[in-house]
Amino acid sequence: MEVLVTCGSKRGGTEELAQMLADGLREEGLTVSLFRPDQIKHLDNFDVVIVGGAIYAGRWHKSSRRFVRLHARQLRQRPTYFFSSGPLDDSATHKEIPPVRRVRALMKRVGARGHITFGGRLRPDATGFPARAMAKEHSGDWRDPAQVRSWAQTIASELGGT
């Protein structure tokens, strides 16, 4: 089973989550390719697609939204999952955080099987406004590798019956 993991990431934290997820899926025996959304022209070689995006100001990363719209027909034809990253606290580790409104709409459009929100990361030396201002009070790394591995196991288990 060929799995594609792709994500939109502005500062690299979501891309690192995608790598953790890909590694976890490989540990579960799946064949996984990891590409940026703009590197993918078609989904013909993939049986499963996982699309992630960083959340900025309540919106999923632009390249993730564009990828889903561009490939919506093909995504409807295979198991598809979404993930988001963004909370700059440990809330995503302690409770389920639902997808933002537009991600919910994209999930419905393609019949996505599931979504999870992971904690985000903001480096203290973040550049650009408003990231630099936010970093003064909210810098840190709230990504939980155990949570990512657990979700990879859940997906692998679900796909076992596919």
* H helix runs in 28-127, sequence order: 62-70, 72-76, 91-94, 101-110
Q: Has residue 24 been placed in a domain? A: yes
What pLDDT is stored for residue 104 in this prediction?
Answer: 97
What pLDDT is stored for residue 95 in this prediction?
Answer: 94
pLDDT band for 57, please (50, 70, 90 cuts): confident
- Give me the domain span that covers residue 94: 2-156
Residue with more model confidence, 58 or 129: 58
Q: Has residue 8 been placed in a domain? A: yes
Q: Has residue 161 been placed in a domain? A: no
| CA 101 vs CA 25, 88, 97, 126: distances in Å | 27, 19, 12, 27
Which tokens belong to 11?
């500062």
Q: Has residue 57 been placed in a domain? A: yes
Q: Under 8 Å CB-to-CB from 53, ≥6 apart: which residues?
A: 7, 8, 9, 14, 60, 61, 63, 64, 65, 82, 83, 84, 85, 103
Q: Has residue 162 been placed in a domain? A: no
In this prediction, residues 123-141 reach a mean pLDDT of 57
CATH code for the domain in which residue 152 is found: 3.40.50.360
What pLDDT is stored for residue 14 in this prediction?
Answer: 93
Which tokens belong to 92?
């995503």
Q: Is the pTM of this model over 0.85?
A: yes
Residue with more model confidence, 132 or 158: 158
Which tokens belong to 44?
């013909």
Q: Has residue 33 been placed in a domain? A: yes
Q: Has residue 142 been placed in a domain? A: yes
Question: What is the total count of domains within the chain?
Answer: 1
Span 62-108, pLDDT tens digits: 999 999 999 999 999 999 999 999 877 788 999 999 999 999 999 99
